[in-house]
Structure 1
Amino acid sequence: MLSILEPGVPLPVLGDWFRFYLLFNPGAAFSMGGESSTWLFTTIQLLFVLGAAVAVPRLRDRGQVVGLALIAGGALGNLIDRLFREPGFWFGHVVDFISVGSFAVFNVADAAITCGVVVFIVFMFLEERRGRGQGES
């Protein structure tokens, strides 16, 4: 994508509704935070990826594993940008390029994190309901 897109210049895919729009984001998902917080987001992402690597083998529910894997994979994708992109190690900016409607510009990693959170929460509630259902028998 970096070779096709020019920063700040939209490339319409489905009119103005869906377009590619290249940004280099120093903040968190959906451009929250800013340049001064980049180191904090990098640290949080690294700790989450390490924590997920420890937690996943302990989970019994496959849905929760999938959700956590999506979150960790997205965090790892953004972490790689923060470690190896400009302006430098640990302070790099994440490449965002997907723009839908008037919503924030994001990337595939952000989408994986968002979907992973939803999947994890849904399966966490389903596991809780199964546990209550088995306890009533």
Structure 2
Amino acid sequence: MKAYTKPFLAVILVLFADQVLKFWIKLNMSLGQEYRIIGDWFIIHFTENNGMAFGMEFGGEAGKLILTLFRITAVCAIGYGVVHLVKHKYHRGLILNVALIFAGALGNIIDSTFYGLLFSESSYFQPAKLLPPEGGYSSLFHGKVVDMFYFPLIQGNFPQWFPIWSGEDFIFFRPVFNIADAAISVGVIAILVFQKRYFKEEKKEESYPHSEVIEE
């Protein structure tokens, strides 16, 4: 059971931090409201999206339902993957990063599955209310994902010679995201960066398959 402790704690911490912050944002900020934490570089900016991570959208009400159901299926598969990795004693770093991906996916599923029932509609004039008497702003599986972290580190204009976006404004980094998105990104990037270390032992075992020793 000790092998499950760190992945379990990672999932709980990510989910707790993610949901506490999202609840606070929903109940205390109106849509579009911002708090500048570090000048123009780090901003808490409240926005919601109907789709995927970093504010990307996906096909209306039907698309929203399909995406939510797909997320639930995917998070179940990832959760099973974490258990499989622990049982087969894979690299601890790999297990921890897959656990982060699981936690992030689960965090956004909570929004898209339940927030429509739990909260009133957020508006540009006032924060939402928790468990309003008239009911939530939507039905099960049709909630919106809450995003808040905005890092417009570099702002400027594309030069006139630049193709397609000539002379247009640009911002890096434009997407607004949340803790769950960050956990998924950290987990995926870490696996890509350290994949040789994580899968080193498995590759060795494949290179030297078990052979029977015949004793005379």
Matches within 5 A, 1:1-137: 1-34=25-58, 36=60, 37-59=63-85, 60-86=90-116, 87-101=138-152, 102=171, 103-132=174-203, 135=207
Aligned-partner SS, 2:199: helix
Q: CA deviation at 1:57?
A: 2.1
The TM-score, its normalising length taken from structure 1, stands at 0.86
Equivalent in the alignment of 2:161? none
The TM-score, its normalising length taken from structure 2, stands at 0.57
Percent of aligned positions with the same letter in both sequences? Answer: 32
Q: CA deviation at 1:41?
A: 2.2
Q: CA deviation at 1:133?
A: 6.2
Alignment gaps of 5+ in structure 2: 1-24, 117-137, 153-170, 209-216
Rounded Cα–Cα distance in structure 2 between residues aligned with 1:23 and 1:94:
9
Q: Of the two, which has the highest radius of gyration?
A: 2
Counterpart residue type for residue 32 of structure 1: M
Q: CA deviation at 1:90?
A: 0.7
Aligned length: 136
Alignment gaps of 5+ in structure 1: none
For residues 11-49 of structure 1, the C-alpha deviation after alignment (integer angstroms, 9 at most, x for no partner) is 211112111111111010122124523222212221121
Q: CA deviation at 1:93?
A: 0.4
- The structure in which a higher percent of residues are helix is 1
